[in-house]
Amino acid sequence: MDEPPYYYLLTTYLSYLILIVFGHVRDFFGKKFHKRDYRHLQANDGYAALNSDFDNFYIRRLKMRINDCFARPITGVPGRYITLIDRTSDDHNLHFKFTGTTTETLNMSSYNYLGFAQSEGPCADAVEDTVKRYGLTIASSRGDVGTSDLHVEVEQLIARFIGKESAMVFSMGFGTNASAFPALIGKGCLVISDELNHASIRFGARLSGAMIEMFKHNDIKDLERVLRSVISQGQPRTHRPWKRILLAVEGLYSMEGTMCNLPGIVSLKKKYKFHLFVDEAHSIGALGPKGKGVCDYFGINPSEVDILMGTLTKSFGANGGYIAGDKAIIDKLRLTNAGSIYGEAPAPAVLTQIAASLRIISGEFVPGQGEERLQRLAFNSRYLRLGLKRLGFIVYGHDDSPIIPVLLYNPAKMPAFSHEMLKRKISVVVVGYPATPLVSSRARFCVSAAHTKDDLDRLLDACDKVGDVLQIKFSSGIAGGAEPLPEGVTAEMVKEWKRTEKGGMQGDVIFQPPRWKLEDVLKKGVQDVKVPLR
Ligand SMILES: Cc1ncc(COP(=O)(O)O)c(C=O)c1O
C-alpha cells in the first residue's frame, strides 16, 4: 500500500493536536462564560447530563467545524446528478438556514452502482403500476398477514439470481444483519469478524450473545492465526468446543474499496470447517461479469458460502436487504428472526423495483440493458481509478471496485476538497475518523453506470486542479499509475519486485511517482483500462 511522505503524516497528527488543544481552551472559557451552551453536558437540577462531555468532544470541537460537508439535504432523484438544497450557517455549523435555492451537481456520492436510482424507465413504470394495484403498504409484519405474492416472487428471484436454494427479504439492510445474527447464532458460538466490517454486522454479532474475535482487514494469514487459536482453545474458561464458528466478511468494503479474498477464505473454510457469511451490500450487482457479486467475480460456486447477505438499497435502486442460503437456514431465519416477525414487511413498490431491476440485470426484462449497465460500471470504475492514480493521487482499493477512496490525510483537507468540488458543481463524500483511521481521511467517489465518460473526465479535470491546490498528489508509483513498462520488463517482473518490496535500481525505474498530464490521462485511459491496471 502507498504511503505519503513522513512530514505529511506528522503535520496530520499535528493538526489533530492543535484542534484538540484549541478545543479544550475554547471549552475552558466556554464553560465559564457561556454556561448555557454547555447545559447538555452538565448535571442539572438533580438530572444526569444528557451527553458525556468526553464523548461529545470530537463532535463538538472537530466534526462541527466541517459539518457543512456532511448530511447535505437533497431533493429529487440521486442519479447521475444530485440536487442539493442550499444552506448557510451563521453560527459555525451549529444551525443551518435554507437559502431557498438549489444546486444541481454531478453525483459522485450515491451508491447508485447500476444507475437504477431513476424516476423514469421500465422500473419506474412497473413500480407505478404496482402502486396502483397494491397501494403503498402491506400494513402487517410477515408473520401476520404481510406475505404477499410479491414477497414470494422476489424471494424466488433473488434465490435464483444468487444461486442459492432459498432467500428472504427484509425491509432494511441494516436491520437484516442486526436481526439475522441473533437468529442464527447465540451463546456458545463464535463470530470471527474482519476488523473493518460494517456497523450492522458488528451490531448484529453483539446482539446475538456470541463471542466475537476480530482479524486484520483482509489478512488471510492473520485470519488463519485467529482460527488456529480459537479452535485449539475452545470457549473461554470451560474450553469446550464452540457450538458454531461463523466467519463474517464483506464482499466489497465501502470505505476501502477492497474486495474480500474469497478464494483464500474458501480454502481456509475447507481446512478449518467454519461457516461463512458474506455481506454483499456493495458487491451484489456491482461486481462480476453477471453482476452476481464476489462469487461471480472470482468464479467461485455460491455453494461454497453458507450465507450470502446483500442490500437492495445500492445496485437495485430499491430498499431493504436479503439473506440467501440453504432452505433449512432460511426456514430457521423465517421462524426466529425478530426483525421480520415483529417489523413491517417490505412495501409493494420496493419489491417491484427489486424484481424489475433484477430481471433487467439478468436479461429477462429489456434484454441487453442489464449487460450494458454492468459493462458501463466496470469501465467507469477502472477508468476513473486509473486516471486518479496517473494524476498522482493515492487511491485505495481493488482495481475493479466502483468505490474509489482518494486519500487526503490532513483533516483540514476534507472540507477544502469538498468545498472545492462543490464550487465545480460536483458532490463528493468526505470521510474521516472514526469511520477511517485517524490519519487516513479521504474523499470517496462512488462510480455509477449512469455516469458518462464526459462526467468522469470532468471529475478528473477537477481533481487534477484541486489536487495541485491542496497538494495531495503523493503517489509514489508503487500502487499503480506508472508510465508504460520499459521494453524488456514484464508485468511478472514488476509483481515480483513489488512483492519483495526492494526493487533496487530496477524498482526505482519502474516506481517513479506518476504525475501525468491531464490530456495524456484522458487520451490513453480508454485503451489502458482493458489491460491489467498498473
Ligand atoms: C456492508 C454493509 N452492510 C449493510 C449495510 C446496511 O444497508 P442499508 O443501508 O441498506 O440499511 C450497509 C450500508 O451501507 C453496508 O455497507
Give me 175's grid cell. Answer: 436491520
- Whether the CB of 260 sits within 6 Å of ligand 1: no
- DSSP, collapsed to helix, strand or coil, labels residue 279 as strand
Ligand 1, from 109, 195, 200, 259: best to mutate by most atoms within 8 Å of Cβ?
200
Q: What is the pLDDT along the chain (534 residues), one digit of tens a residue?
A: 788 999 999 999 999 999 999 999 999 999 999 988 898 898 988 999 988 888 899 999 999 999 999 999 999 999 999 999 999 999 999 999 999 999 999 999 999 999 999 999 999 999 999 999 999 999 999 989 999 999 999 999 999 999 999 999 999 999 999 999 999 999 999 999 999 999 999 999 999 999 999 999 999 999 999 999 999 999 999 999 999 999 999 999 999 999 999 999 999 999 999 999 999 999 999 999 999 999 999 999 999 999 999 999 999 999 999 999 999 999 999 999 999 999 999 999 999 999 999 999 999 999 999 999 999 999 999 999 999 999 999 999 999 999 999 999 999 999 999 999 999 999 999 999 989 999 999 999 999 999 999 999 999 999 999 999 999 999 988 888 877 777 777 777 777 776 776 555 555 556 678 999 999 999 999 999 988 776
In sequence order, which residues have a C-beta less than 8 Å from that of residue 328 and are 6 or more positions away? Answer: none
- For residue 191, give the nearest of 209, 206, 212, 208 by alpha carbon: 212
Rounded Cα distance between 74 and 158, Å, is: 31
Is residue 478 a contact partner of residue 512, using CB atoms and an 8 Å limit? no
For the beta carbon of residue 44, count every other beta carbon within 10 angstroms: 11
CA 201 to chain centre: 13
177 lines ligand 1 (CB under 6 A): yes
Ligand 1: residue whose CA is nearest its atom 10? 173
Closest C-alpha to 456, from 483, 426, 422, 479: 426
pTM, two decimals, is: 0.93
Ligand 1 atom nearest to CA at 200: 4
Alpha-carbon 30 to chain mean position: 38
Q: Could you tell me the CA-to-CA distances from 300 to 281, 378, 399, 492 in Å, in that order?
A: 18, 19, 19, 25
Instruction: For ligand 1, say whether the CB of 283 is within 6 Å of any of its atoms.
Output: no
Report how far ligand 1's centroid is from the alpha carbon of 340 (Å).
17
User: DSSP letter at 485?
Assistant: P
Ligand 1 center to residue 174 CA distance, Å?
5
Ligand 1 atom at minimum distance from 253 CA:
1
Torsion sign across C-alpha atoms 392, 398, 400, 403: negative
Q: Which three cell numbers stand for residue 514?
A: 506518476
Q: What is the pLDDT of residue 510?
A: 61
Please name the residues in contact with 304: beta carbons below 8 A apart, sequence gap of 6 or more: 266, 269, 276, 295
How many other CB atoms are there within 10 angstroms of residue 233's CB atom? 10
Query: Ligand 1 centre from 29 Cα, in Å?
Result: 41
Which set of grid coordinates corresponds to residue 109?
A: 456520492
The residue whose CA is least distant from atom 7 of ligand 1 is 173
Asked if 442 contacts 396 with a C-beta cutoff of 8 angstroms, the reply is: yes
CA 42 from centre of chain = 37
Q: What is the pLDDT of residue 486?
A: 72
With cell 498528489, the residue in question is: 473
CB count in 10 Å sphere of residue 5: 10
Angle at 298 between CA 293 and CA 300, to 5 degrees: 90
The b/e string for 349-369 (b: 16+ C-beta within 10 A; e otherwise) is bbbbbbbbbbbbbbeebeeeb
Distances (CA, A) of 116 to 119, 121, 323, 473: 9, 9, 21, 33
Name the closest-CA residue to atom 12, ligand 1. 281
Block residue for cell numbers 433484477? 358
Which amino acid, residue 312? L
User: pLDDT at position 476, please?
Assistant: 87
The whole-angstrom separation of Cα 165 and Cα 324 is 8
Contact 338, 183 (CB under 8 A): yes
